[in-house]
Amino acid sequence: MPGAYKSSSFFAIIFQNPYKLISTIKAFAMIIIPAIDLKDGKCVRLRKGQMDSSTIFNEDPAAQARTWEDMGALRIHVVDLDGSVGGRPVNLPTVKEIASAVKIPVQLGGGIRAADTIRMYIDLGVNTAILGTVAARDPEKVKGLISEFPARVAIGIDARSGIVAVEGWTESAGLRATDLAAQFADCPPVAFIYTDIDRDGMMRGPNIKATEDFARSAPAPVILSGGVTTLADVERALALENLGVMGIIIGRALYEGSIDLREAITLAGSENAR
């Protein structure tokens, strides 16, 4: 039911009862989620997901997570880039350090394709497992995982020109992002993280139109990712809230200083209060 979801403390509610949303959620602002991408145990950012284009922003990802928490973040988005390409967890010790370093929820993607991996990460303190490649390759398996881990599984849909990319964005899945999301109408995840690959890390604004089209048909709340560069971009993304876009992931812009996290959080809160 697109358009019915709003949030900030959204996650605190939805994780207790994924289906009891409407009356409570309207009071909350859209959540701003800082990103930490892990490569070789370091906090990096890529351009268009290309592993050979990484820039190191912090040698200590756990310290970076604490910084975002201290600045007011209510949630942190972590991606094991090496795991995404390799199809298995790679930066496990670093993920454990991040989850232990902060009190706010951590959502994690990258190389998560089985129940044992989800269970391991939950035991380490990760709040939400994000499934990407396996959702495109085997939707029925992922529906089983969503049922096995209620309110703990999100689906990451990464698209290039509307077509889903998998295996760390190195291969095309050959289907449209909207068609993939529709396959989960009977067993929706806690959220979809929708990333426009061509905008990711490029500092030229999010693909609002593509996100809007995706959110209109998505059977669960949507988190926008990719390209958010300025507060004006944040404001444009906030306009999608009534379509079910309940979060904005920001990466390179925070590290390069074109967006101040506190200002983005304040903007999201003030827009919701209007």
| Catalytic residue chosen out of the listed positions 37, 80, 200, 233 | 37
Active site residue 138: no
5 part of a folded domain: no
Active site residue 158: yes
79 part of a folded domain: yes
pLDDT value, residue 87 = 87
* CATH code for the domain of 152: 3.20.20.70
Beta strands in the chain (DSSP E): 31-39, 42-47, 50-58, 76-80, 106-109, 128-131, 153-160, 163-166, 171-176, 192-196, 222-225, 245-250
> Degrees (nearest 5) of the Cα angle 268, 1, 158?
65
pLDDT in tens, 95-137: 999 999 999 999 999 999 999 999 999 999 999 999 998 999 9
| Catalytic residue chosen out of the listed positions 80, 82, 158, 200 | 158
Structure tokens at 27: 């009071």
Domain count, the chain: 1
DSSP codes joined into one string, 54-93: EEEEES-HHHHHHHHHHTT-S-EEEEEHHHHHHTS---HH
Residue range of the domain that includes 209: 10-273
pLDDT value, residue 199 = 73
What's 26's DSSP letter? Answer: T
Quick check: 69 and 103 in contact, CB under 8 A?
yes
pLDDT value, residue 86 = 85
3 part of a folded domain: no
Residue 244: partners with Cβ closer than 8 Å, 6 or more residues away: 2, 3, 4, 5, 215, 218, 220, 221, 222
Asked whether residue 62 carries a pLDDT value surpassing 90, the answer given is yes
